[in-house]
Amino acid sequence: MNRMDTSPSPLRVGLLGFGLAGSVFHAPLIATTPGLALDTVVTSEPERRERAREAGAPGGEVRTLPSADDLFADPDRLDLVVVATPNRTHVRLAHRALDAGLPVVVDKPLAPTAAEARELAAKAEAKGLLLAPFQNRRWDNDFLTLRSLLAEDALGEVHRFESRFERWRPRPKGGWRESGDPQEVGGLLYDLGSHLVDQALTLFGPAASVYAEADVRRPGAEADDDTFIALTHESGVHSHLWMSATASRLGPRFRVLGSRAGYVKYGLDPQENALREGARPAEGAPWGVEPEEAWGTLGALEDTREVPTLDGDYPAFYDAIATALREGTPPPVTAHEAAAALQVLETARSFTRARTL
């Protein structure tokens, strides 16, 4: 079934889940994307349902439903389903959306395994439906800046890419994201690692080999909270990726070393904090802008210069989704790309702590 919509009316979106991912990222980005309308939010919690009713465009009220069954009982009302529920439910709900004839966006990770991601991709292709994993970090300001520098060949031949998502959270917060139950697909490897690996593969191509170290360091923690992945890409680039909740001193977000110059960037893209604080992208208004004092530097040793950071652009993801649905263009992120990243994460998860000799 092909649900490509060429009418000028907004495409109606049903959002499954209104926790962190649904309320902070998906709802505001959907509601502010021209051509999309946040029609329905599914959440069973009364307090979240109250907030969800006000999450749409100004002047409109969003319909709320208590269960996915209620949403899929009337699939013709919607043009797109977004899955922003706990990781353990992603595959099941994505299959239900596709079986209902609905295009679907799935928050990362798309699935626990590469095989399940490929199965979803095959179903979407057979039905002629869009399936797009949500990888918003491809539109982080630092990532966009680095891609621009690489396109300009500003670093020469890159041989090492270092990338970090580090936090200082010495006490676990609890919840499914930090659960040790494998069914929950929790831990930093699949949370922050999904972003870090996706960025590395996007920049430098497929991985030829993987090495990893995963530890549970905080008292009372159940899932990995201090993890390192080393990739050797088929291109010859080495990527070193850190994700940690136990970093009492933060390293650079990026350190990229090339044959002519290196690029070093500290700090995180400002878009997540802005969304958490209630800010919303608006057409023509500044968004994702970083102050000059946070810019990265390019050069060698003491011969460096500041590089203006490009503006972050999370809205670009749903802009591309709207275009893909109306015009049949490819989605901004594909399930096959997600499967390649999941293959790396699965391999990394297979490593255990080294034995003492």
pLDDT digits (tens, 9 = 90+) for 221-247: 899 999 999 999 999 999 999 999 999
Contact 13/77 with Cβ under 8 angstroms?
A: no
* 92 shares a domain with 180: no
Residues 46-63: pLDDT tens digits? Answer: 999 999 999 988 777 999
* 173 shares a domain with 107: no
How much is the average pLDDT of 266-290? 94
Inside any domain, residue 5: no
| % of the chain surpassing 90 pLDDT | 87
Peptide bond into 109 cis (omega under 30): yes
* 232 shares a domain with 283: yes
81 burial type by CB count under 10 A (0-12 exposed, 13-18 middle, 19+ buried):
buried
* 117 shares a domain with 30: yes
Confidence at residue 325, expressed as pLDDT on a 0 to 100 scale: 98
Question: Structural domain tally of the chain?
Answer: 2
Helix (H) or strand (E) holding 341: helix 335-349
Residues 177-186: pLDDT tens digits? Answer: 888 888 888 8
* 170 shares a domain with 76: no
How much is the average pLDDT of 118-123? 98
CA distance 169 to 184: 21
Inside any domain, residue 302: yes
Is residue 7's pLDDT more than 60?
Answer: no
Confidence at residue 339, expressed as pLDDT on a 0 to 100 scale: 98
CATH number of the structural domain spanning residue 166 = 3.30.360.10
| % of the chain surpassing 70 pLDDT | 96
Confidence at residue 318, expressed as pLDDT on a 0 to 100 scale: 98
Inside any domain, residue 105: yes
| DSSP labels, 45-74 | -HHHHHHHTTSSSTT---EEES-HHHHHTS
Is residue 353's pLDDT more than 80?
Answer: no
Contact 192/272 with Cβ under 8 angstroms?
A: no
Helix, strand, or coil here: 84? coil
Inside any domain, residue 146: yes
| φ, ψ for residue 20, nearest 5 deg | -55, -55
CA distance 93 to 226: 30
* 306 shares a domain with 165: yes
Long-range contacts of 127-130 (CB under 8 A, 24+ apart): 127/1, 127/98, 127/101, 128/1, 128/2, 129/1, 129/2, 129/3, 129/98, 129/101, 129/102, 129/103, 129/104, 130/80, 130/103, 130/104, 130/105, 130/321, 130/324, 130/325, 130/331
Inside any domain, residue 245: yes
- What integer best gives the mean pLDDT of the chain? 94
Inside any domain, residue 218: yes
* 115 shares a domain with 164: no
* 260 shares a domain with 146: yes
* 233 shares a domain with 166: yes
Pairing relationship of beta strands 207-215 and 226-233 according to DSSP bridges: antiparallel
Q: Could you tell me the pLDDT band of residue 1, with boundaries at 50, 70 and 90?
A: very low
**Residue pointed to by tokens 């209902």:** 100
* 129 shares a domain with 237: no
CATH number of the structural domain spanning residue 94 = 3.40.50.720
Confidence at residue 356, expressed as pLDDT on a 0 to 100 scale: 45
Structure tokens at 200: 């590395």
From first CA to last CA, the distance across the chain in angstroms is 59
Inside any domain, residue 282: yes
Confidence at residue 182, expressed as pLDDT on a 0 to 100 scale: 86
Q: Could you tell me the pLDDT band of residue 2, with boundaries at 50, 70 and 90?
A: very low
* 113 shares a domain with 78: yes
Confidence at residue 8, expressed as pLDDT on a 0 to 100 scale: 66
Q: Could you tell me the pLDDT band of residue 98, with boundaries at 50, 70 and 90?
A: very high
Confidence at residue 163, expressed as pLDDT on a 0 to 100 scale: 98
Inside any domain, residue 272: yes
* 118 shares a domain with 87: yes
Q: Could you tell me the pLDDT band of residue 352, with boundaries at 50, 70 and 90?
A: low
**Residue 282 domain boundaries:** 138-313+344-349
Confidence at residue 290, expressed as pLDDT on a 0 to 100 scale: 96
Q: Could you tell me the pLDDT band of residue 174, with boundaries at 50, 70 and 90?
A: confident
The reply to whether the predicted model has a pTM over 0.85 is yes
